[in-house]
Amino acid sequence: MPDNWIQIRGDPSIREFLFLQERKLNEFDYHLDEVLSCVADLICNYGVFHAKVHFSSGQVTLWLIDDPLRYQVHVKDEFLKLNAYHAYPVKTYTRDAVITQNCISKILDGFKQLRLKDPQVYLRSGSLNVINGIVGLNFSCDGSHYIDYDEFLLRIDDITC
């Protein structure tokens, strides 16, 4: 990535009506800690190297180190009921990761912070790739960010649409 932080402005028509909308709580919002804890567990112990949490639509997309060309999609209740111990085999955390395991929960906590920060400007989806160290963010304003994980952790309070 040429820069530590790339911000892309989205569809102007979405931005125009941003303050006429408000986030509605959904199943993932009611179980946010559980969802993020499961994602952390899947990354640290089950071979997931890239995870994207679609907070607004209640789905999680996973890429596994043993099958990186195919992604797995888990939706709402199915993800909340997912027993990682049966869905995927135990896998040692990849040595190719640039993100240490102790940073995974901190990054996911940052997703929670951005999801709950504001009822109008909120995180719609967040992704984390432990191999390249990139955090991807998509907000209600249709703006996107791609940022190195360490920069994300340092500047979480500066991130907005």
Q: State pLDDT tens for residues 102-158.
A: 999 999 999 999 999 888 888 999 999 999 999 999 988 767 889 999 999 999 988
Is the pTM here over 0.85, yes or no? yes
Contact 45/90 with Cβ under 8 angstroms? yes
Distance (Å, whole) CA 41 – CA 39: 5
Stated as kind and residue range, the H or E segment containing 14 is: helix 12-16
Contact 137/145 with Cβ under 8 angstroms? yes
Q: Per mean pLDDT, which of 53-62, 77-86, 140-149 is the most reliable? A: 53-62
Chain mean pLDDT for the chain: 87
More confident residue, 5 or 99: 99
- The pLDDT of residue 33 is 96
Contact 144/160 with Cβ under 8 angstroms? no
List, edge to edge, every strand of the sheet that includes 67-75.
5-8, 144-148, 134-139, 123-129, 48-54, 59-64, 67-75
- Split at pLDDT 50, 70, 90, the class of 82 is confident
- The pLDDT of residue 86 is 73
Distance (Å, whole) CA 63 – CA 84: 14
